[in-house]
């Protein structure tokens, strides 16, 4: 599936669908798009219910799969990125920079003092830090802001609609009397149906998978909820959790050198028995050294 060099933004003549596109799309849809759609619904439910660890974990899974689907359906490999949504986003961005805005917009219904300005790139970096595999065990803790759900919705909407061959004719092939436009060109016109992929998200929106999942997807969803959708009450909540290492490894060192032996013994046990990323080990030991240098005798 080769569509030429990685890059977007140039408007060219629409292409017919390539041979075996239907089979390839079926594979990508079932492996990546459908499962990402389910992760998206579950992540939104976790956010509303305050299950913050799982919100970040599912959000990263969701965006990872959409980004890989976008690469695959536009002639590129999804291999070598593993789960790193920062690198994946950097790879997908050149495909369609005109369809991936850099800024995130505050919903009109949200109080201005609760919104933190953040670019899409900055949000994805923060999302990855708190939702990456190493943080399943809360090695880094998290900081969830009240507006994170709406930022997540905007990223999903913009990335998900790239999960289609952007240069292909929007009808599959030229049809007499119909516009001769690619899917990219249709989206640039903000065509109201250009984002529809006929996957699990669309089935959920239509209520085909039950009212509970439909509400989890659409409740206060400014990107996908239809006009007039009846939303239920929600709270604007900020939540944060520090990793246990701060309390058990760092706080004792602030109490003075008398605590050094016990703190060192505990750290030795952690390193011996718990798998930690090398980068985190270096961070912890650097902070331990700093605290010891400042501690009172």
DSSP string spanning 91-127?
HHGGG-GGGS-SB----TTS-GGG----BHHHHHHHH
Is-contact 187 99, C-beta < 8 A? yes
Same domain? 165 vs 272: no
Same domain? 216 vs 193: yes
> Residue 112 falls within a domain, yes or no?
yes
Same domain? 72 vs 215: yes
pTM: 0.87
Same domain? 141 vs 192: yes
Where does a domain end: 198, 217, 239? 239
> Residue 16 falls within a domain, yes or no?
no
Same domain? 232 vs 256: no
Same domain? 289 vs 210: no
> Residue 166 falls within a domain, yes or no?
yes
What b/e readout covers 14-26, taking b as 16+ CB neighbours within 10 angstroms? beeeeeeeeebbe
Q: What are residue 169's phi and psi, to 5 degrees?
A: -60, 135
Mean pLDDT of the chain: 90
pLDDT at res. 8: 47
pLDDT at res. 134: 87
Count: domains in the chain: 2
> Residue 235 falls within a domain, yes or no?
yes
> Residue 84 falls within a domain, yes or no?
yes
Same domain? 159 vs 209: yes
> Mind listing the pLDDT tens digit for each residue in 231-265?
998 888 888 888 899 999 999 999 999 999 999 99
Same domain? 75 vs 111: yes
Q: Indicate the pLDDT class of residue 11, thresholds 50, 70 and 90.
A: low
The domain of 101 spans 21-239
> Residue 1 falls within a domain, yes or no?
no
> Residue 168 falls within a domain, yes or no?
yes
> Mind listing the pLDDT tens digit for each residue in 146-169?
899 999 999 999 999 999 998 887
Same domain? 231 vs 265: no
Distance separating alpha carbons of residues 200 and 206, to the nearest angstrom? 10
In the predicted structure, residue 3 carries a pLDDT above the cut 70: no
Same domain? 272 vs 231: no
In the predicted structure, residue 40 carries a pLDDT above the cut 70: yes
Same domain? 162 vs 261: no
Same domain? 134 vs 276: no
> Residue 133 falls within a domain, yes or no?
yes
């Amino acid at each position: 599936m080769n569509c030429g060099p990685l890059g977007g933004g140039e408007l060219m003549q629409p292409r017919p669908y390539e041979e075996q596109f239907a089979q390839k799309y079926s594979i990508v849809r079932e492996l990546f798009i459908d499962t990402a759609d389910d992760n998206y619904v579950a992540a939104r439910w976790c956010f509303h219910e305050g299950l913050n660890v799982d919100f970040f974990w599912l959000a990263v899974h969701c965006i990872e799969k959409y980004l890989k689907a976008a690469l695959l359906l536009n002639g590129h490999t999804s291999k070598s990125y593993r789960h790193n949504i920062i690198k994946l986003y950097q790879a997908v961005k050149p495909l369609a920079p005109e369809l991936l805005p850099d800024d995130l917009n505050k919903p009109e219904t949200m109080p201005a003092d609760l919104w933190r300005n953040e670019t899409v790139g900055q949000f994805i970096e923060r999302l990855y830090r708190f939702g990456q595999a190493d943080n399943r065990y809360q090695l880094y803790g998290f900081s969830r802001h009240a507006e994170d759900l709406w930022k997540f919705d905007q990223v999903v909407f913009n990335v998900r609609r790239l999960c289609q061959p952007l240069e292909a004719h929007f009808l599959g092939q030229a049809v007499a009397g119909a516009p001769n436009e690619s899917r990219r060109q249709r989206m640039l016109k903000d065509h109201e149906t250009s984002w529809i992929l006929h996957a699990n998200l669309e089935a959920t929106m239509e209520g085909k998978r039950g009212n509970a999942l439909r509400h989890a997807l659409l409740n206060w969803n400014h990107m996908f909820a239809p006009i007039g959708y009846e939303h239920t009450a929600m709270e604007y909540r900020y939540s944060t959790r520090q990793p246990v290492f701060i309390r058990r490894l760092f706080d004792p060192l602030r109490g003075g050198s008398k605590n050094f032996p016990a703190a060192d013994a505990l750290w030795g046990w952690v390193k011996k028995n718990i798998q930690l990323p090398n980068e985190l080990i270096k961070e912890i030991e650097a902070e331990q050294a700093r605290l010891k240098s400042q501690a009172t005798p």
